[in-house]
Structure 1
Amino acid sequence: MSAFIAALLVAAALPDYHPVGRVSGTIRLSGNDQMALLLQRWERGFRRFHPEVRFESWLKGTASGIYGLEMRTADLALMGRAMNPFEYYGTYERSWVFPVQVEVATGSFATPDKSPAYAVFVHRDNPVRKLTLQQLDGIFGAQRGGGWNGLSWDQSAARGPEQNIRTWGQLGATGAWADKTVHVYGPPLEGAGAISYFQSRVMHGADLWNEDLREYADPARMIADLSNDPYGIAYSSLDSAAAGVKALPLAEAAAGPYVRLTRETVADRSYPLSPPVYAVFNIDNEKSELAGVDPKLREFLRYVLSKQGQAEVAREGNYLPLTPAAAAEQMKKLDSTATPPELRVIQQASAIKVRMSIDEDPIVVRLAENLGYFEQEGIELERVGVEKITGEDYLIQEPLAKGQIDAAYCWFNHAIYGARHGFPVQAVMLFNEAPGMKVLVADRMKGRIASAADFAGRKVAAGAGYGMKSVLTRYLARKAGGGAYATVMMEKAGRQEAVVKGLKEGAVDVMTFQEPITSALLATGLATTLYDLNSGESTARALGARFPAQALLMSPEAIAKHPEVAQRLVNALVRAMRFVNSHSAEEIAARLPADYFAGKDRPAEVELIRALLPTYARGDYSISPEEARLAVEVNLSAAFDESDEGRWRGSGDASRVRPAELYTNRFVTQAMNAIALSRGK
């Protein structure tokens, strides 16, 4: 029996299409250009039943499909893969309703670029004859706290390192093969926030891979290398097969059955790695209200899922028809009386209460509240003062590690101190890429102090010895090769007046302050700027890299257990940061709640916002390895004072501090991907 006849027989088992009613109008489509011929067949077939329907297509690739839905330039997006979690959020941001994803065909048997099934290849001499998906997970995956199941983070997908498979003996190979390391080959990894079909089926939606995975952009090159590596394993489409390798039968579980990759086993979906292709549509209207399924879309998709529609899939020759069971399951999503599963996710999810410690009163948090970003992410923010838990406002690490608070808006250096004391915390987002300070030199000393190397023996006012003004001033002096200097303390009350008095009387030579004091001192003409640490660019010139200052900290355990909380927090705060980055001080002040200015001089506060705008991070709000290393170097080399806070910061085990473990950019990357997709950037 020919492959075409076999595919037609699959389609023939489906119910006939019977129109529910007459529909008219234009259906606009965007997305996967590889489905263009199939779409043309569907259009012709559907118009036999509904001649008053017209079609407009803009097929530029799968990613463009979601963009069309986001911008309301398309009614239906054709997708060669499932939606990534972040791709749901563009529609959700405008209406709190997620788009609906419907399988419309099975991917191809082995046609490149047409969602082919995945074969798992090993060297032809390899004694292993079959594998389960769990074994593939052990080979390609790694320890994880869970995985993405569509939009939901599934903690039941968590597994430990004991399930890693790193030798062929763990797969039943004996003799000389038993202790040989499994060499893992694969295509390039998806970008952050993207989950491939292989990850979904094999790794339960996780994004943590075997640390030794070798990535190949060229499948032919990958299989050629595998054919020369007896201990290798790779996954790719069957069209990559070559002499020297063999494709293994796969099973869902150890009990079997173990199924070979053939056109028939992909068509009936008995082969475990047979991806579908999709159509996606919105269920909100132009007013961003829940509206249900558009009648003409419902009729078109009912046709696509019918005997006639799936027969066109068979005739196209590459994609394969849905099985009757799969088509029936997808048809349920078109029932206007049923709540789509994507919407049920939101309806069932109550607001998440997030307990956050907040340093001072940052405008970013206030904007996220006042502009509705927290509410739109389903977050109910509860401010918690850690001093009520620990007795001191600087001891935030233990409450984070013990789950007494969920997050902290504070300086990144707290992650360093936490690591030293065995309370690991991570930054999931950066707010300020500069410490917001300036190192000033008394005007009378300009000719004698040209750099921090000249601080030796001078009178320096840089605040308390446990604070970052002091730490950074001493770091600049050490970096420049300068010697010790005399510390001058200014009265806390009337500090600005005391500094001005000290400048006039020659009691201070160098001073490090933040706004608004720096601007006031410079306005007197008694001091000039030596080092500007008030913007990312100027800080990088002074220190060698931007300096991670204020950040959002969470415990790694909380992140692993509840990544959806971290993602929603970051989503809201990224939007607030983008507002800060794109508005003036006056515009920002206008969107802050009235109580923010209670008891304050509003014009002075607006000027303070203006002065601090350069400190805010731009771009994607991530932390780079260079920035993390700089922060660690600055803090671990610091000589803190003998205050309780100074002793805390300077004690503990410095060997526990590993810069790469102090932050994760996973959530800001996903948030920025969603925004870029929704804005077409």
Structure 2
Amino acid sequence: LKGTASGIYGLEMRTADLALMGRAMNPFEYYGTYERSWVFPVQVEVATGSFATPDKSPAYAVFVHRDNPIAKLTVQQLDAIFGAQRGGGWNGLSWDVTAARGPELNVRTWGQLGATGAWADKPIHVYAPPLEGAGAITYFQSRVMHGADLWNEDLREYADPARMIADLSNDPSGIAYASLDSAAAGVKALPLAETAAGPYVKLARETVADRSYPLSRPVYAVFNIDNEKSELAGVDPKLRELLRYVLSKQGQADVARAGGYLPLTAAAAAEQVKKLDSTSTPNELRVIRKASAIKVRMSIDEDPIVVRLAESLGYFEQEGIELQRVDVEKITGEDYLMQEPLAKGQIDAAYCWFNHAIYGARHGFPVQAVMLFNDAPGMKVLVADRAKGRVASAADFTGRNVAAGAGYGMKSVLTRYLASKAGAGAYASVMMGKAGREEAVVKGLKEGTVDVMTFQEPITSSLLATGLATTLYDLDSGESTARALGARFPAQALLMSPETIAKRPEVVQRLVNALVRAMRFVNSHSAEEIAARLPADYFAGKDRRAELELIRAALPTYTRGDYSISPEEAQLAVDVNLSAVFDESDEGRWRGSGDVSRVRAADLYTSRFVSRAMNAIAVVNAR
């Protein structure tokens, strides 16, 4: 799309692939585009605005009356003349309070600029093109006034630049900015400098072309990273080649031949080409995010790849989140007691099993799941081959020897739920320590002391590989879990307190946005591709090949397409846990105690943050 305003709208609505703009996007436009497309737009300088050609982003001249004794000005002085008191300004894409200034820095007389004699007390009459509406930032505002919209209180607006310069030619106390094609007899254009140290540069074709003149204007081509398939798809190949050509020696020669716009210097063009190969967070945003990132304290179960990917792919950074890992055991003395720290605001979030929300409700520490990561527990219920003729379903568990882990854990809870649902009677629990567990199970299979067993990877695959056991129930994917249990089972989730959700919804949304993007990456990439994007320290001290196989085995457990919890799934989790008979360990007693009447499935989750995140994705995919 041609034209700055229409181009920005086209990028935001995803009706345009490329926008040509006579100025840089302002922060409101930049973040607005990101909210719709989930990636930050890329701004590539493709030319320099014209020396003095109308409608070709001409450089701005600063005019005064020809009799005015002032011979030169700095950009800072222009700010003092045209601007006013303000509480801050934009430094790139970040609001910077160091750009604030009080009224004592306003320049309102020519004497404040060094004029003497009769000129010393003459007020400065400020002329300017029409000011834009709220939220709009012109090139002059951005370049001179740090993007602030507080102007000289006596500024006179002119829709017609010719009329403005004509009035200036009759007003010795006036000053205006406009393109050089508006020049007329009776006015002069002043040399400008960034600071009083100079150099002061006259407005000329060559000083505009090499950008040494301070009010030269870059011309931009702006586009969104193509994230139709994933956030890492990068620059659309057609756009990349088009812009490579525009930035090439031949392309810039074509810019010069077309007239109006001026070509970039070779060094400037080479620098812009680098942007065509980048899908990372823009450098200016890295500074912003680091300075203004919101700290989120999270308790994390083990070392989930979703969180690691959100970090390594820059999703937390792009959402302005700085994740701080918290060891909840140091707060409560136990790693399973995260509900009270969540409810009391000692931590902000917990990446853990959804069933902890149920236990929290029972004990008066309500927490909610704002997002679901796994809709399958990642387990298999196996039966010994020698017994599979007599154990065809969970109904046949009665009197059998069952190895399903500790009596407070979800392997044991789900195994007992399957048995209870099928009408089975009591069975004998076979307990095995963590050390040498696999070898002990294999020995039990051979000796006939284990009939049924429930395990997760990597033990499951190892047991099946022995040929001594067969899968009876597959709880490794949402689909197979639903066949076994009647619904998908909410496993790992993101838990937060209702108070935090109510008081800091924007933080919750940012956190969910980042993790949804990480989940989409998991859903659309192979184990090898995922491993390649995990940070090196993820594999520190581990067998990389074994870890890769664990990632591969876990992929089916991740929920796909929608990362919220359904009413049926929440109710299943409640039914499973409230019907459980836990062991007498400290954790078992905690899980099995408390007030059951406090537990309502509908109070244990909220889907609104995932829905907003998914709606944003739908806008992108509906191009």
State the TM-score, normalizing by the size of structure 1.
Answer: 0.55
Change (3 A) 1:448 1:352: same
Matched, 1:285 2:89: no
Taking only aligned residues, the RMSD between alpha carbons, in angstroms, comes to 3.2
The equivalent of 1:72 in structure 2 is: 18
Change (3 A) 1:360 1:341: farther
Partners of 1:298 and 1:666 in 2: CA distance: 44
The equivalent of 1:610 in structure 2 is: 552
Partners of 1:347 and 1:371 in 2: CA distance: 17
Aligned partners of 2:328 and 2:334 also within 8 Å: yes
The equivalent of 1:650 in structure 2 is: 592
Partners of 2:147 and 2:38 in 1: CA distance: 14
Partners of 2:16 and 2:595 in 1: CA distance: 50
Change (3 A) 1:74 1:650: farther
Change (3 A) 1:296 1:360: farther
Partners of 1:490 and 1:539 in 2: CA distance: 25
Change (3 A) 1:363 1:331: closer
The equivalent of 1:519 in structure 2 is: 461
For residues 268-309 of structure 1, give each alpha carbon's deviation from its aligned partner in whole angstroms, at most 9, with x where no partner exists: xxxxxxxxxxxxxxxx62479xx9xxx96999xxxxxxxxxx
Aligned 1:28-43 pairs, distance under 5 A: none
Give the letter for the 2:474 counterpart: D
Q: What secondary structure, in the 3-state scheme, does the structure 2 residue paired with 1:415 have?
A: helix
Give the letter for the 1:487 counterpart: S
Aligned partners of 2:407 and 2:583 also within 8 Å: yes
Q: Which runs of 5+ in 2 are unaligned?
A: 23-27, 59-129, 150-283
Residue 584 of structure 1, CA deviation: 0.8
Aligned partners of 2:33 and 2:40 also within 8 Å: no
From 602, 608, 611, the counterpart of 1:666: 608
Change (3 A) 1:494 1:66: same
From 290, 311, 314, the counterpart of 1:369: 311
For residues 503-524 of structure 1, give each alpha carbon's deviation from its aligned partner in whole angstroms, at most 9, with x where no partner exists: 0000100000000000000000
Partners of 1:505 and 1:71 in 2: CA distance: 67
Residue 599 of structure 1, CA deviation: 1.3
The equivalent of 1:26 in structure 2 is: 2
Aligned partners of 1:66 and 1:677 also within 8 Å: no
The equivalent of 1:261 in structure 2 is: none
The equivalent of 2:138 in structure 1 is: 334
Q: What secondary structure, in the 3-state scheme, does the structure 2 residue paired with 1:600 have?
A: coil
The equivalent of 1:676 in structure 2 is: 618
Residue 564 of structure 1, CA deviation: 1.4
The equivalent of 1:94 in structure 2 is: 40
Q: What secondary structure, in the 3-state scheme, does the structure 1 residue paired with 2:137 have?
A: helix
For residues 544-578 of structure 1, give each alpha carbon's deviation from its aligned partner in whole angstroms, at most 9, with x where no partner exists: 11000000111110111111111111111111111
The equivalent of 1:471 in structure 2 is: 413
From 295, 319, 341, the counterpart of 1:353: 295
Partners of 2:454 and 2:406 in 1: CA distance: 11
Matched, 1:597 2:539: yes
Q: Runs in 1 of length 4+ with deviation above 4 angstroms?
A: 73-76, 85-88, 295-299, 339-344, 346-349
Q: What secondary structure, in the 3-state scheme, does the structure 2 residue paired with 1:469 have?
A: helix
From 521, 524, 528, the counterpart of 1:582: 524
Partners of 1:619 and 1:91 in 2: CA distance: 17
The equivalent of 1:384 in structure 2 is: 326
Q: Which runs of 5+ in 1 are unaligned?
A: 1-24, 31-55, 77-81, 96-283, 300-325
Change (3 A) 1:445 1:352: same
Give the letter for the 1:454 counterpart: D
Change (3 A) 1:532 1:332: closer
Give the letter for the 2:557 counterpart: T
Matched, 1:625 2:567: yes
For residues 145-180 of structure 1, give each alpha carbon's deviation from its aligned partner in whole angstroms, at most 9, with x where no partner exists: xxxxxxxxxxxxxxxxxxxxxxxxxxxxxxxxxxxx
Partners of 1:488 and 1:614 in 2: CA distance: 29
Partners of 2:306 and 2:322 in 1: CA distance: 16
Residue 327 of structure 1, CA deviation: 8.5
Change (3 A) 1:454 1:596: same
Partners of 1:611 and 1:583 in 2: CA distance: 13
The equivalent of 1:558 in structure 2 is: 500
Give the letter for the 2:137 counterpart: K
Residue 336 of structure 1, CA deviation: 4.2
Give the letter for the 2:138 counterpart: L
Residue 456 of structure 1, CA deviation: 0.5
The equivalent of 1:135 in structure 2 is: none
Matched, 1:397 2:201: no
Partners of 1:65 and 1:470 in 2: CA distance: 53
Aligned partners of 2:132 and 2:138 also within 8 Å: no
Change (3 A) 1:340 1:521: farther
Partners of 2:308 and 2:604 in 1: CA distance: 26
Residue 90 of structure 1, CA deviation: 3.8
Residue 67 of structure 1, CA deviation: 2.7
Matched, 1:570 2:546: no
Partners of 1:297 and 1:638 in 2: CA distance: 74
Q: What secondary structure, in the 3-state scheme, does the structure 2 residue paired with 1:354 have?
A: strand
Residue 332 of structure 1, CA deviation: 5.0
From 419, 424, 427, the counterpart of 1:485: 427
Change (3 A) 1:474 1:336: farther
Partners of 2:55 and 2:414 in 1: CA distance: 64
Aligned partners of 2:38 and 2:617 also within 8 Å: no
Partners of 1:427 and 1:341 in 2: CA distance: 41
Change (3 A) 1:483 1:86: farther
Residue 678 of structure 1, CA deviation: 3.0
Aligned partners of 1:298 and 1:334 also within 8 Å: no
Partners of 2:419 and 2:33 in 1: CA distance: 48
Partners of 1:297 and 1:427 in 2: CA distance: 53
Q: What secondary structure, in the 3-state scheme, does the structure 1 residue paired with 2:376 have?
A: coil
Residue 428 of structure 1, CA deviation: 0.8
Identical counterparts, % of pairs: 74
The equivalent of 2:401 in structure 1 is: 459
Partners of 1:660 and 1:590 in 2: CA distance: 39
Partners of 1:671 and 1:411 in 2: CA distance: 22
Q: What secondary structure, in the 3-state scheme, does the structure 2 residue paired with 1:337 have?
A: helix
The equivalent of 1:140 in structure 2 is: none
From 349, 366, 382, the counterpart of 1:424: 366
Change (3 A) 1:454 1:298: farther
Aligned partners of 1:86 and 1:670 also within 8 Å: no
Aligned partners of 1:27 and 1:297 also within 8 Å: no
Aligned partners of 1:442 and 1:503 also within 8 Å: yes
Change (3 A) 1:611 1:91: closer
Matched, 1:410 2:352: yes
Matched, 1:638 2:396: no
Change (3 A) 1:520 1:332: closer
From 379, 386, 397, the counterpart of 1:444: 386
Aligned partners of 1:400 and 1:554 also within 8 Å: yes
Give the letter for the 1:334 counterpart: T
Partners of 1:70 and 1:507 in 2: CA distance: 68
Aligned partners of 1:87 and 1:677 also within 8 Å: no
Residue 66 of structure 1, CA deviation: 3.1
Aligned partners of 2:339 and 2:367 also within 8 Å: yes
- How many pairs does the alignment contain? 401
Q: What secondary structure, in the 3-state scheme, does the structure 1 residue paired with 2:395 have?
A: helix
Aligned partners of 1:358 and 1:409 also within 8 Å: yes
Change (3 A) 1:298 1:564: farther
Partners of 2:317 and 2:328 in 1: CA distance: 24
Give the letter for the 1:285 counterpart: Q
